[in-house]
């Protein structure tokens, strides 16, 4: 465990799990190789935040069947996270509490949203509930986690990226590392409990 990692989470903090959905896990349409590892760590953070009665947010990629980011529509990705499909469901390892807030994104056919803030009411919700510090984990480091963490910084939040609970697509081998650098440069704290090591 990193001794600096807060055992008692800051008063004004929330957990934001980004796109931990079946299609991004091994066996899914757009699988992230190390996704299961991240998923188990996300589960432990979720349990930890729930035990301290901290707010929990989960974003999800929630695309219509003919979304323009899909190869068949001329986009870059195989069809993934189509509304109301098994692939769009949250990873089954998560014990999602009743009061968790779900943020759907990428919901129009001709718009994409890597960031959980893009086209959603996440910022408004966080401001109303006076959340200033976001602990971010989920998938994928080099796309939606990156975009979400950078937007959060631009919007003025303190951001901790939970390094043991993320995983990268790595279209280029070092995309994940580069995304971490960018997030660090934007003032994100890259930290974690490193559950595997305790
Ligand atoms: C994502 C590619 C396409 C992600 C979403 O959640 O990181 N990546 N759509
Ligand atoms: Zn998508």
Average pLDDT over every residue of 103-112: 97
- Is residue 111 part of the annotated active site? The answer reads no
Q: Tokens 């990705």, residue?
A: 77
- Which ranges of 4-140 does DSSP label H, i.e. alpha helix? 35-51, 122-128
| Nearest to 143, CA basis, from 11, 40, 16, 18 | 18
Question: Which tokens is 160 given?
Answer: 């901790």
Question: Which tokens is 74 given?
Answer: 């001329």
pLDDT digits (tens, 9 = 90+) for 3-57: 567 777 899 999 999 999 999 999 999 999 999 999 999 999 999 999 999 999 9
pLDDT digits (tens, 9 = 90+) for 112-142: 999 999 999 999 999 999 999 999 999 999 9
Evaluate whether 30 touches 72 at the Cβ level (below 8 Å).
Answer: no
pLDDT at 6: 75
pLDDT digits (tens, 9 = 90+) for 54-93: 999 999 999 999 999 999 999 999 999 999 999 999 999 9
- Is residue 19 part of the annotated active site? The answer reads yes
Please state whether the peptide bond connecting residue 140 to the residue before it is cis, i.e. omega within 30 degrees of 0: yes
pLDDT at 8: 78
Find the 60 Cα to ligand 2 centroid distance in Å.
Answer: 9
Among 61, 81, 105, 142, which one carries the catalytic annotation? 105
Dist CA 179 CA 169 (whole Å): 11
Evaluate whether 27 touches 145 at the Cβ level (below 8 Å).
Answer: no
Q: Label the pairing between strands 133-139 and 158-167.
A: parallel
Dist CA 73 CA 93 (whole Å): 32
| Nearest to 81, CA basis, from 130, 22, 34, 127 | 22
- Ligand 1 within 6 A of CB of 61: yes
114-123, 151-160, 185-194: segment of lowest average pLDDT? 185-194
Largest Cα–Cα separation, the chain: 48
Residue bearing the CA closest to ligand 1, atom 6: 144
Dist CA 61 CA 21 (whole Å): 8
Average pLDDT over every residue of 83-107: 98
Residue 196 has pLDDT above 90, yes or no: no
Pocket test for ligand 1, best of 18, 22, 24 (most atoms within 8 A of CB): 24
């Amino acid at each position: 465990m990193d001794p600096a990692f807060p055992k008692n989470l800051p008063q004004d903090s929330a957990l934001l799990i980004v796109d931990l959905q079946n299609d991004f896990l091994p066996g899914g349409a757009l699988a992230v190789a190390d996704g299961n590892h991240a998923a188990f760590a996300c589960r432990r953070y979720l349990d930890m935040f729930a035990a301290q009665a901290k707010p929990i947010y989960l974003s999800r990629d929630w695309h219509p069947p003919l979304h323009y980011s899909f190869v068949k529509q001329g986009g870059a990705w195989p069809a993934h996270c189509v509304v109301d499909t098994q692939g769009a469901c949250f990873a089954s390892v998560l014990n999602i509490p009743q009061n968790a807030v779900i943020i759907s994104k990428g919901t129009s056919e001709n718009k994409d949203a890597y960031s959980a803030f893009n086209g959603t009411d996440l910022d408004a919700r966080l401001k109303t509930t006076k959340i200033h510090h976001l602990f971010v984990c989920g998938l994928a480091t080099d796309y939606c986690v990156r975009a979400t963490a950078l937007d959060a910084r631009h919007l003025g939040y303190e951001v901790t990226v939970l390094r043991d609970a993320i995983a990268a697509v790595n279209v280029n081998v070092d995309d994940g590392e580069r995304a971490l650098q960018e997030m660090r440069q934007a003032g994100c704290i890259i930290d974690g409990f490193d559950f595997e090591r305790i």
